[in-house]
Amino acid sequence: MAVCVAIIGKDNAPKFFACANPEEELNFQYKVLSSLDIVEEKLNPTVKTSTADLRELYLGMLYSLETHKIYGYVTNTKIKIIIIVDSTNTSLRDNEIKSMFKKIHSEYADVVCNPFYIPGEPITSKSFAMNIKSIMLQA
């Protein structure tokens, strides 16, 4: 299972943040925001650091720390989704992380199509938060 999911907007402002353990939230926010630099680097076609396919929305693992691994995903509309998982959790495969991203992206698309949501604002929908929580726990 993932310990943290974050959705970051076009302008790199956080739109949504969910943590398994609320006490660690600040710590995770810091990790997520510092990983945005790596996302930018991966998206920049002039820097050829990554061998991964640029056309893929899933960016793979951004970096791994002693305790956590951080994965990134950027949509065509430049919305960044970041997932943090525990390093001790070795049962999670790349494919599962990918499908988790896909699910979160679908949820996000649903929120954007909601006429009561104003694009660019932070997401406050309760049902969205619940759905993300259940995606986090599933994997």
Partner 1 sequence: MTEDTLFELLHSEVVHYALQNDERSNQDEDLSIIEYIGFSVGYRIIERLTKDMSRFKDELDTMKFICTDFWSAVYKKQIDNLRTNHQGVYVLQDNSFRFLTKISNGKQYLEAASKYVAFTCGVIRGSLSNLNISCLVTAEVQNMPSCKFHIQVQRT
> Would you give the distance in Å from CA 4 to the centre of its chain?
8
**With binding defined as CB under 8 A, does residue 13 bind partner 1?**
no
Instruction: With beta carbons less than 8 A apart as the criterion, state whether 31 and 66 touch.
Output: no
Instruction: With beta carbons less than 8 A apart as the criterion, state whether 90 and 84 touch.
Output: no
**With binding defined as CB under 8 A, does residue 41 bind partner 1?**
no
Determine the residue type at 63. Y
**With binding defined as CB under 8 A, does residue 122 bind partner 1?**
no
CB of 38 to partner 1, least distance (A): 17
**With binding defined as CB under 8 A, does residue 47 bind partner 1?**
no
**With binding defined as CB under 8 A, does residue 75 bind partner 1?**
yes
> Per CB under 8 A, which region of 18-26, 32-40, 49-57, 80-88 contacts partner 1?
49-57
Q: Give the Cβ contact number of residue 40 at 10 Å.
A: 13
Pick from 20, 33, 38, 57 the residue near partner 1 by CB under 8 A. 57
Cβ nearer to partner 1, comparing 84 with 111:
111
Instruction: With beta carbons less than 8 A apart as the criterion, state whether 107 and 131 touch.
Output: yes
Q: Which two structure tokens, joined as six digits, stand for 13?
A: 């402002």
Point out which residues pair with 60 in neighbouring strands.
72
What is the binding site for partner 1 (CB under 8 A)?
Answer: 10, 54-57, 74-79, 105-106, 108-109, 112-113, 119
